[in-house]
Amino acid sequence: MESFREELLKWLPENYECLILSVTPEKSGFSALIRINISSKSAALEWVQQFCENSFVTFKTARTFPDNTQKLIFKKEYRCLHNTRSSQNVKTPHRKHTGCNA
C-alpha cells in the first residue's frame, strides 16, 4: 500500500497543500481519499485539471453536490473516462468499458 501512496504523491499538483486520508488497493490500481486546502471552486477545478495532466487520466463527473453550503464550497465525484458505469447484470458491456477504477 505504501507504493500506491508514493505513486499518488508523484501525481498530486505541487502548489497545493494536500492530506492523504486513505489509500485502498483495488483490482486494477487503487482508490484514495484526499483533502486539499482550496478555498474556491475555480481553484478546485484548476487542481483537477493539473491532476489529470500529471496522472494522464481523463475524468468525467460521476456526481455533483450543492455548491456554497455552510461546510462546503465545492464538491464533485469523478470517475475515469473508461468506466462507463455498466451494470453487473449486462452480458456484454459497452466496448469502451474497461473497468477502470480511477
> Could you tell me the residue ranges of all domains in the chain?
2-80
CA distance 30 to 26: 5
Angle of CA points 23, 30, 58, to nearest 5°: 115
Question: Do residues 78 and 48 touch, judged by C-beta distance below 8 A?
Answer: yes
pTM: 0.70
Residue with cell 453550503: 69
Mean pLDDT split into 10-residue runs, the chain, 102 residues: 80 89 81 86 91 87 86 82 59 55 50
pLDDT reported for residue 21 = 92
pLDDT reported for residue 55 = 86
pLDDT reported for residue 42 = 92
* Residue 7 β-bridge partners: none
Of residues 95, 100, 81, 94, the one with CA closest to residue 28: 100
